[in-house]
C-alpha cells in the first residue's frame, strides 16, 4: 500500500508542468519584445560613397595658420551658370541687360524760354539741351543765348559734346563750342562735367579753349525744390571766368560775370510748366570796365516769365 501511494505522488508531480501549460500561466512570464521589422532594401545603397575619414594630421578650421588659407570662391548671383554652358548664359545675360537698361533713348529739354522785362529795355533768353544715347555713352547738344527785342542776340552758343558716365551720378563731357550772335564768332574745345551733387543739386562745369588761345571757364548749378506736387521753386546760379583779358569779346580776366535767379513754375504736366521769376546779373572786374566804356549797364535786375518743357 505504501508503494501505491508513492507511485500516485510521483504521477501528480510529473504532470504539474503540463497542467500549467494547459491552463495558461503566461501572465506570470515576462513579456517578450516583438521581432524587429525588416526594412525594404535601399536601391541606392550600392551607389553611396563612404564619407572620407578626416586626416588628423591635416589642420582644418581655426587650426589653420593665420593668413595662409586660400580665399573662398567668389559667389555668383547667377545660379543658372552652374548648370548651363557659359556661352548661352552670356548671350541671355546680354539680352537681359539690353532690355533692362541698355536701350538707346533721348530727350529734348528747354529749361529756359523766357522774356525778360528790364528797366528801359526788354529782352529774351533761352537755355536748352538734347541728348541721345545709352546710360553710359551719349551725344549732347546744348544751346543758350540772350538778347534784346528788335536786334540780334548779344550772345549765343551751341555745343556738341560726347558724354561718358564715370559714376552713378556724374558724366564727363568733351566736344566743341561755337559762339554765334553779335559778338565775335569763336570756336572752342570744351571739356567739362555734369551731374547730381548730394541733396539732388544739378551741377555742371566746363573749360573752353578757343582757336585764339583764350581760356574760359563756367560753373553753374540749380535745384528743384518741390513745394507741392505741381509747384516747383528753382534757384539757379551761373558764374563765368576768363584766364586773361579778351578785348574782342569784351571779357575781362578773373570772374567776368555772375547770374543769380529764382523761378517758380507750375507743372500743368511734368513735361510742360509755365513759370515766373526774377533774375539778377552783374559784370565784374575788367568785364565791368569794358561795359562802362561801351555805355552798357554793369548790373541788371529783370522780371522773367516763360515756359519750361521737355519731351
Backbone angles phi, psi at 205, to 5 degrees: -150, 155
- pLDDT for the residue numbered 258: 96
In a domain, 168, yes or no: yes
**Which regions of the chain are under pLDDT 50?**
1, 5-6, 12-13, 15-31, 33, 36, 39-40, 42-48
In a domain, 272, yes or no: yes
- pLDDT for the residue numbered 45: 47
In a domain, 35, yes or no: no
CATH of the domain at 168: 2.40.160.40
In a domain, 276, yes or no: yes
- pLDDT for the residue numbered 201: 94
- pLDDT for the residue numbered 128: 95
- pLDDT for the residue numbered 68: 67
C-alpha cell at 64: 589653420
Return left, alpha or beta for 42; rule: phi > 0 is left, psi -120 to 50 is alpha, else beta. beta
Range of the structural domain that residue 246 is part of: 105-310
Which residues are CB-contacts of 82 (< 8 A; sequence separation ≥ 6)?
A: 76
In a domain, 180, yes or no: yes
Which residues are CB-contacts of 119 (< 8 A; sequence separation ≥ 6)?
A: 301
In a domain, 273, yes or no: yes
Q: How many distinct structural domains can be found in the chain?
A: 1
In a domain, 131, yes or no: yes
In a domain, 72, yes or no: no
Amino acid at each position: 500500500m505504501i508503494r501505491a501511494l508513492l507511485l500516485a505522488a510521483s504521477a501528480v508531480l510529473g504532470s504539474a508542468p503540463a497542467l500549467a501549460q494547459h491552463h495558461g500561466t503566461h501572465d506570470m512570464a515576462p513579456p517578450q519584445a516583438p521581432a524587429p521589422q525588416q526594412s525594404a532594401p535601399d536601391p541606392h545603397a550600392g551607389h553611396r560613397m563612404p564619407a572620407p575619414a578626416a586626416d588628423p594630421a591635416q589642420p582644418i578650421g581655426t587650426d589653420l595658420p593665420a593668413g595662409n588659407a586660400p580665399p573662398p570662391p567668389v559667389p555668383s548671383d547667377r545660379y543658372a551658370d552652374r548648370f548651363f554652358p557659359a556661352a548661352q548664359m552670356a548671350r541671355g545675360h546680354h539680352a537681359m541687360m539690353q532690355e533692362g537698361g541698355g536701350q538707346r533713348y533721348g530727350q529734348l529739354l528747354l529749361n529756359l524760354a523766357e522774356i525778360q522785362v528790364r528797366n528801359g529795355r526788354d529782352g529774351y533768353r533761352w537755355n536748352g539741351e538734347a541728348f541721345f544715347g545709352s546710360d553710359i555713352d551719349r551725344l549732347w547738344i546744348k544751346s543758350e543765348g540772350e538778347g534784346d527785342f528788335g536786334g540780334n542776340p548779344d550772345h549765343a552758343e551751341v555745343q556738341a559734346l560726347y558724354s561718358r558716365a564715370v559714376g552713378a551720378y556724374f558724366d564727363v563731357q568733351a566736344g566743341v563750342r561755337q559762339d554765334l550772335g553779335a559778338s565775335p564768332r569763336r570756336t572752342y574745345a570744351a571739356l567739362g562735367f555734369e551731374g547730381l551733387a548730394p541733396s539732388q543739386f544739378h551741377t555742371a562745369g566746363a573749360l573752353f579753349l578757343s582757336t585764339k588761345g583764350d581760356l574760359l571757364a563756367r560753373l553753374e548749378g540749380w535745384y528743384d525744390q518741390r513745394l507741392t506736387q505741381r509747384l516747383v521753386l528753382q534757384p539757379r546760379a551761373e558764374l563765368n571766368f576768363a584766364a586773361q583779358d579778351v578785348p574782342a569779346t569784351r571779357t575781362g580776366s578773373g570772374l567776368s560775370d555772375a547770374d543769380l535767379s529764382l523761378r517758380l513754375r507750375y507743372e500743368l504736366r511734368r513735361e510742360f510748366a509755365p513759370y515766373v521769376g526774377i533774375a539778377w546779373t552783374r559784370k565784374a572786374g575788367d568785364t565791368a570796365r569794358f561795359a562802362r566804356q561801351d555805355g552798357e549797364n554793369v548790373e541788371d535786375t529783370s522780371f522773367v516769365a516763360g515756359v519750361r518743357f521737355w519731351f
